[in-house]
């Protein structure tokens, strides 16, 4: 690769080590900067004392639908007569000790407990597990073909090392249901789906920008079907050299994603339990992730009255809470639709959704609320009545206020409309009140609006409404925002004298209407805020929340002690205009919950978002 890269681009130097572990140690010692490793080794590289992080992931599938995962399969010779539950006493071949496909997944399924190497040696009649200490576990190296010190070696000197070494004949697959499938039926007949191979680097001073520049340049010039001179994803002199031969390209891993988040809670926990004697987590408690100190204070108050079923943790940002739930450091949090999309991409699922009071707050669903389909809420553009000449068609060059970057009402919907009109992600300069800084997100550019206030976090704050009152020309908000902050409903100094009649809505047809007419003057209807969790915890979180809202919900038995849907400031943990948390009916994935129209809106906005 070094010989074919342009002299004007990033320069690469190759260093040789005897194993992946030695390469990991070289990176820690600043004697190398990057190596591509299997997901199981990403786990090990992320632990102390190495503390490496994934910076680039291989992708498979197709360029139109890139997949950053692959399937783990059990391959057997055709004509043999045993199933997955009949493997004890058979001879086994493994890609390598600690590899996702070759070790962690199959051993985790077949031997969910016990000392792993000893148990495997007892379970199989003989094996080839490259990287195992053959002195300590001779049976695990019995079938390996390397000569002398190369027998069972953790590199290509052992002929059976890696994927191609374990696959040497005409085979079919063993399925989890103890049936068989052909080798092309891996999507149906597999043991697990695991994260793709990743390039890892140091967490601090890791040169991740330079690594991405190098690999992106390499894939543009020498990727699949790009060049006969050099093939980045092909190994004429071996198999899977530097990168997996089956890879189609690279995707950059988001900067805040560590090994635990990259691997996902389920797989990370499986490896963790495989490598230790950790017991199962306490399933009888929910750890709730609150955003910021105000939410944490309300959560702590709730926890004290919950009978021990709820514990609280906090992060500074919504993204931090999504990561905490995905890693298993928390179990649940409540999110706006825009963040539900992000959470879904991280493997989380919606659990319950907020069902809202009628616009005037007088009509209530009562006991029917939890099973009434969730309709969502209106996204509106609010202006001062005194700015009589301002319409939807004359927003260019005005000052805009947004609830938060990434939220439905404040960002995805209005900016999606503007992107469709202009084809540009250059939405405006940033002039922020309150201190939150959108420029850190790479989202503050210089074209459509003259100034923005788009907080990077804390979508529950009243900053957007304050922005409109003090400096802004237009605010993009949920339709209830004006109603909640006018006519004495918000006692804060900036809001206490505001009147509902001071504001109007901008309609897409260029007209304006009173703020009470959102039903006929809105930008879109978007999904309600919803609680998300991991699949393994979703049912328990759902039961816990139903129990808690019977106590502390709008008509709860203990409503006077604590109110889930009322906040000292605004919309803490849940929206203040929530009547109840409701069942999702059949909308139990993020795609079904958000719906095709909203997913299309986010797809447009993805072009304007960082990795």
Helix axes 265-274, 39-46, angle to 10 degrees: 70
* Residues 6 or more apart whose Cβ sits within 8 Å of residue 296: 290, 312, 314
Indicate the burial class of 237 (C-beta count within 10 angstroms; 0-12, 13-18, 19 or more): exposed
DSSP, res 430: E
Cα atoms in the Cβ-side hemisphere of radius 13 Å centred on 305: 17
522 labelled binding-site residue: no
Which value, to the nearest 10 degrees, does the dihedral of the CA atoms of residues 281, 282, 286, 288 take? -50
102 labelled binding-site residue: yes
262 labelled binding-site residue: no
For 65, 69, 78, 256, 345, the CA distances from 59, given in Å and listed in that order, are 9, 7, 30, 19, 15
- C-alpha torsion sign, points 312, 317, 319, 320: negative
Of 557, 579, 316, whose CA–CA distance to 459 is shortest?
Answer: 316
Alpha-carbon Rg for the chain in angstroms: 28
| Cα–Cα distance for residue pair 196/246, rounded to 1 Å | 11
Indicate the burial class of 570 (C-beta count within 10 angstroms; 0-12, 13-18, 19 or more): middle
Of 127, 43, 52, whose CA–CA distance to 93 is shortest?
Answer: 127
- The owner of tokens 């079907």 is 225
197 labelled binding-site residue: yes
378 labelled binding-site residue: no
Of 167, 180, 187, whose CA–CA distance to 80 is shortest?
Answer: 180
Cα atoms in the Cβ-side hemisphere of radius 13 Å centred on 232: 23
| Cα–Cα distance for residue pair 500/514, rounded to 1 Å | 9
529 labelled binding-site residue: yes
95 labelled binding-site residue: yes
336 labelled binding-site residue: yes
| Cα–Cα distance for residue pair 315/322, rounded to 1 Å | 9
163 labelled binding-site residue: yes
Q: Is the Cβ–Cβ distance between 593 and 582 less than 8 Å?
A: no
- C-alpha torsion sign, points 122, 124, 127, 131: negative
| Cα–Cα distance for residue pair 498/469, rounded to 1 Å | 9
Binding-site residues, please?
A: 38, 95, 101-102, 163, 197, 336, 377, 403, 409-410, 529
Q: Which residues are annotated as a binding site for Fe(3+)?
A: 38, 163, 197, 336, 377, 529
Q: Which residues are known binding-site members for hydrogencarbonate? A: 95, 101-102, 403, 409-410
């Amino acid at each position: 690769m070094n010989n074919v890269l342009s002299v004007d681009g990033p320069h690469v130097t190759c260093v040789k080590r005897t194993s992946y572990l030695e390469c990991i140690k070289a990176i820690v010692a600043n004697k190398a900067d990057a190596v591509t490793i299997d997901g199981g080794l990403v786990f090990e590289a992320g632990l102390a004392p190495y503390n490496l992080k994934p910076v680039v992931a291989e992708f498979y599938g197709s360029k139109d639908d890139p997949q950053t995962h692959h399937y783990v399969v059990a391959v057997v010779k055709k004509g043999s007569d045993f199933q997955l539950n009949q493997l004890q006493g058979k001879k086994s071949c493994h890609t390598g000790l600690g590899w996702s496909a070759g070790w962690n997944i199959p051993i985790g399924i077949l031997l969910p407990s016990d000392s792993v190497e000893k148990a495997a040696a007892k379970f199989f009649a003989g094996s080839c597990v490259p990287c195992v200490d053959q002195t300590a576990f001779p049976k695990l190296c019995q079938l390996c073909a390397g000569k002398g010190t190369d027998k069972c070696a953790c590199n290509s000197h052992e002929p059976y090392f890696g994927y191609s070494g374990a696959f040497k004949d005409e085979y079919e697959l063993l399925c989890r249901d103890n049936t068989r499938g052909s080798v092309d039926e891996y999507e149906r007949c597999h043991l697990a789906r695991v994260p793709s191979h990743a390039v890892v680097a140091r967490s601090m001073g890791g040169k991740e920008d330079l690594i991405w520049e190098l690999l992106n340049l390499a894939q543009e010039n020498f990727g699949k079907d790009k060049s006969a001179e050099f093939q980045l994803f092909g190994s004429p002199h071996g198999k899977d050299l530097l990168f997996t031969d089956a890879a189609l390209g690279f995707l950059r891993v988001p900067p805040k994603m560590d090994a635990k988040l990259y691997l996902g809670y389920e797989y990370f926990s499986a490896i963790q339990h495989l490598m230790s004697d950790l017991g199962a987590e306490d399933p009888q408690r929910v750890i709730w992730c609150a955003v910021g100190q105000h939410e944490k204070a309300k959560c702590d108050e709730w926890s004290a009255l919950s009978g021990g079923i709820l514990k609280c943790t906090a992060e500074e940002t919504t993204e931090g809470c999504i990561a905490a739930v995905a890693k298993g450091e928390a179990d649940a949090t409540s999110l706006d639709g825009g963040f539900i999309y992000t959470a879904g991409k991280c493997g989380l699922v919606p659990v319950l959704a907020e069902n809202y009071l009628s616009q005037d707050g007088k009509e209530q669903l009562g006991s029917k609320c939890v099973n009434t389909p969730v309709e969502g809420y209106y996204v509106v553009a609010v202006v001062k009545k005194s700015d009589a000449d301002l319409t939807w068609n004359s927003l260019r060059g005005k000052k805009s206020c947004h609830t938060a970057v990434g939220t439905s009402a404040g960002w995805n919907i209005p900016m999606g409309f503007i992107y469709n009109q202009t084809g540009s992600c250059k939405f405006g300069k940033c002039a922020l009140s309150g201190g939150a800084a959108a420029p850190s997100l790479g989202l503050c550019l210089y074209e459509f609006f003259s100034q923005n206030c788009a907080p990077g976090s804390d979508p529950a704050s009243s900053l957007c409404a304050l922005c409109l009152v003090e400096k802004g020309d237009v605010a993009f908000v949920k339709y209830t925002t004006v109603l909640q902050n006018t006519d004495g409903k918000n006692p804060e100094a900036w809001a206490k004298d505001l009147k509902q009649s001071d504001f109007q809505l901008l309609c897409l047809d260029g007209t304006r209407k009173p703020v009470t007419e959102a039903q006929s003057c809105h930008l879109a209807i978007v999904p309600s805020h919803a609680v998300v969790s991991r699949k393994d915890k979703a049912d328990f979180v759902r039961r816990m929340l139903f129990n808690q809202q019977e106590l502390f919900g709008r008509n709860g038995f203990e409503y006077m002690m604590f109110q889930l849907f009322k906040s000292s400031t605004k919309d803490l943990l849940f929206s203040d205009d929530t009547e109840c948390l409701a069942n999702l009916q059949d909308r139990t994935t993020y795609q079904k919950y958000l719906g095709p129209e909203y997913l299309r809106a986010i797809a447009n906005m993805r072009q304007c978002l960082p990795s």
